[in-house]
Amino acid sequence: MNEYKRNILDAGKTLLHAGLTVETWGNLSVCDRAAGRVYITPSGMDYDTCVEDDIVCMDLDGKILEGTRKPSIETGLHLAVYRARPDVGAVVHTHPIYSTVFSCIGEGIPLCIDEAAQALGAPVETCAYFLPGSAELAAACAEKLSGEANACLLKSHGAVCVGATLKAAFKVARVLEMTAEIYWRIRAMGRRPDPLAPSDIAFMKDFAAHRYGQR
């Protein structure tokens, strides 16, 4: 049993049943940096019924090493992010409701709560609209994630979240959607959130990275 493929299968079910996408949309991958391999979900297949043989393995240039299925249409996007961020070991592309609301109007999501300051890395920006699967979309997404941001929005499309592991990437995805809903509710009140001070954001990021939890 391949651990990377098994993790992808489990994560696909999480993606679907956590309300982060619907049907067969969205996609996810993990990168084995030591072996130079990327494992990614197949295009248009039910996450609940996928098996290990359905997961596609390729190198960082996109050459397929294992699998007979057509990989996700956003394969180029995943590979572009891995090339831009050597610290990233997993990419999760979601289609969540509240985050996508802001992507549709071309707005970003500020770090307005402590959890966002800890997990998202930087204010979440929306990249320009490009067709799904296009090289332009891959480049635009990778550019938004090339700094400290762990999430970006794809205009009128969804979100892309990254982490060192799938667990970390899913944490970013959940925090992003929670933050987007809180931000939406504040906006629905006719208000804007009070911004967190840059010094507080820096403290929370350092706290999450080095002092939170059991060591």
User: Which active-site residues does the annotation give?
Assistant: 74
How far is the CA of 33 from the CAs of 88, 96, 103, in angstroms?
9, 28, 31
- Return the closest-CA partner of residue 92 out of 112, 115, 74: 74
Query: Six-digit token pair at 69?
Result: 């299925």
The C-alpha atoms of residue 15 and residue 10 are separated, in whole angstroms, by: 9
Alpha helices in the chain (DSSP H): 3-17, 75-84, 97-104, 114-119, 135-144, 166-188, 198-210
